[in-house]
Amino acid sequence: MKKRIGVVPGVEIGDIFFFRMELSLVGLHFPSMAGIDYMAVKGGESEGERLALSIVASGGYDDNAEDPDVLVYSGQGGSASRDKEASDQQLVRGNLALERSFHRGNEVRVIRGLNINLVSKVYVYDGLYKIQESWTEKGKSGCNMFKYKLVRIPGQPAAFATWKSIQKWKESSRVGLILPDLTSGAESTPVSLVNEVDDEKGPAYFTYSPTVEYSKSFKLAQPSYACNCHDACQPGDSSCSCIKKNGGDFPYTTNGVLACRKSMIYECSPSCPCIRNCKNRVIQTGLKTRLEVFKTRDRGWGLRSWDPIRAGTFICEYAGEVIDETNARQDGENKYVFHTNRLYSSFKWNFETESTEDFDIPSPVIISSKNSGNVARFMNHSCSPNVFWQPIMYESNNEAFLHIAFFAKKHIPPMTELTFDYGTPRSDGTDAENNPEFGKKKCLCGSAKCRDYFY
């Protein structure tokens, strides 16, 4: 990966990163600590001149972040530390590169570092800026600081401005808001219902249910022994029966992110003595992100998040009523349905050595969310989805049932529609209809890999 001025191939405005090293890996900003990246220009009159390539604005120098299209950035250096006092900043290295870029007028990439909670930060690529002014002024320490005013080049997609809007919605009210909580309290986190497109007041009536509903005939496995963990299940604990059921590996990281896909994940059950927030109860504790059901321009209602979503984060499960093949046929063109036995595009995720589409599901499961369901029923299809599903088993009322959980396939910026691949029917008659045209619809996902239809 080489340094370059301007656009970095493969990186889109609004892309988010949870670690500084990720910025370096994609070629957006190479220094792991310094806020200014620069390089010496080769060729022409400016041979050897250092120009700024990118900056990371994290607020460490009280950078002004009020105007989403204007950034007043403070130069680097001069800060007090444990063994030295504050001093005047010097026109060297990154500061000199910014000064040269001010005079040369080259584009500078801006990455905004934003706190999402007390301990976590996310980095948002905000696009290309140009430096319009530079000056020096006294900082809080009384020492001279370099200041640079960067203005965003017009016509770029919104990125940081979207984050600013979300902050205002949390403090007041969302434009186009129909309902502040579609779930009526069924979820611990509210789900907004919003329409900024037309006058429709909401989707057709359904009963909100946060989990899947099975009849007795759909019991999938015999109950097994609960674990004997009295606090929380720990990775590497060979005595934990739940870890044994997962092949000896803990399925999630310590912060609840899916470590890798499996043919089946077994979570702790209510009969396990471990605590409620055990790291092996990820999908049982409900929604973690602030979701919004919104009206799309051409695909009905959709789902998106106000929060940034890290790759591997649990989003929601597919809730509804488990139905049999006969009922699925009778439902006909029911668009609120999930089939585990469909064919899904294979993909490798999180450095998997091979794709994992052969799930260990005892028998095909069809879930209808037409009459009752949760936010998952509003996720639209995409041929290049940002969400994938994972089968998860855990016990309830002394019976073990399958749950379909959705996880982020990659880092997902706020207000990005959440989509998954609906799959295609099998040709062996195991889907609702053994007819390649039955239920076939025009795909409007807009993906470069769009196959023009979906089911």
**Is the pLDDT reported for residue 83 higher than 80?**
no
Q: What SS3 class is residue 113?
A: strand
Q: What SS3 class is residue 58?
A: coil
Average confidence (pLDDT) over 125-139:
96
| CA 308 – CA 87 distance, rounded (Å) | 37
Average confidence (pLDDT) over 263-282:
91
Answer whether 381's CB lies under 8 Å from 443's CB.
yes
pLDDT tens digits along 148-162? 999 999 999 999 999
- Between 327 and 6, residue with greater pLDDT: 6
Answer whether 22's CB lies under 8 Å from 81's CB.
no
pLDDT computed for residue 173 by the predictor: 81
The CATH class for the domain spanning 176-455 reads: mainly beta
pLDDT computed for residue 148 by the predictor: 97
Q: What SS3 class is residue 118?
A: coil
Give the distance from CA 429 to its chain's centroid. Answer: 36
pLDDT computed for residue 425 by the predictor: 87
| CA 58 – CA 296 distance, rounded (Å) | 33
- Between 328 and 372, residue with greater pLDDT: 372
pLDDT tens digits along 285-320? 899 999 999 999 999 999 999 999 999 999 999 999
Report the DSSP pairing between strands 291-295 and 301-305.
antiparallel
| CA 339 – CA 329 distance, rounded (Å) | 12
Average confidence (pLDDT) over 240-259:
91
- Tell the burial category of 185 from Cβ atoms under 10 Å away from its Cβ (0-12, 13-18, 19+): exposed
Report the DSSP pairing between strands 212-213 and 320-323.
parallel
Q: Tell me the residue length of the chain.
A: 455
Q: What is the CATH number of domain 16-167?
A: 2.30.280.10
Close Cβ partners of 172 (under 8 Å, ≥ 6 residues apart): none
| CA 450 – CA 452 distance, rounded (Å) | 5
Report the DSSP pairing between strands 177-179 and 192-194.
antiparallel
pLDDT > 90: percent of the chain: 63
pLDDT computed for residue 428 by the predictor: 60
Residue-averaged pLDDT of the chain: 88
446: left (phi over 0), alpha (psi -120 to 50) or beta: left
**Is the pLDDT reported for residue 61 higher than 50?**
no
Residue 388 dihedral angles phi and psi, to the nearest 5°: -135, 165
pLDDT tens digits along 191-246? 999 999 999 999 999 999 999 998 754 454 555 678 889 889 988 888 899 999 99
Q: For the sheet with 212-213, list strands across it.
A: 212-213, 320-323, 366-368, 337-339
Residue 36 β-bridge partners: 55
For the record, the structure tokens of 429 come out as 């008659």
Close Cβ partners of 326 (under 8 Å, ≥ 6 residues apart): none
pLDDT band for position 362 (50/70/90)? confident
423: left (phi over 0), alpha (psi -120 to 50) or beta: left
pLDDT tens digits along 179-194? 999 999 999 999 999 9
Q: Measured between alpha carbons, how far is residue 320 from residues 222, 267, 294, 356, 408 in Å?
A: 22, 20, 20, 25, 21
The domain spans of the chain are: 16-167, 176-455
Ranges 17-26, 70-79, 401-410: which has the least confidence? 70-79
pLDDT computed for residue 217 by the predictor: 47
Integer Rg of the chain from CA? 26
- Tell the burial category of 165 from Cβ atoms under 10 Å away from its Cβ (0-12, 13-18, 19+): middle
Q: Which amino acid is at 307?
A: D
Report the range out of 33-47, 250-264, 416-430 with the highest average pLDDT: 250-264
pLDDT computed for residue 224 by the predictor: 66
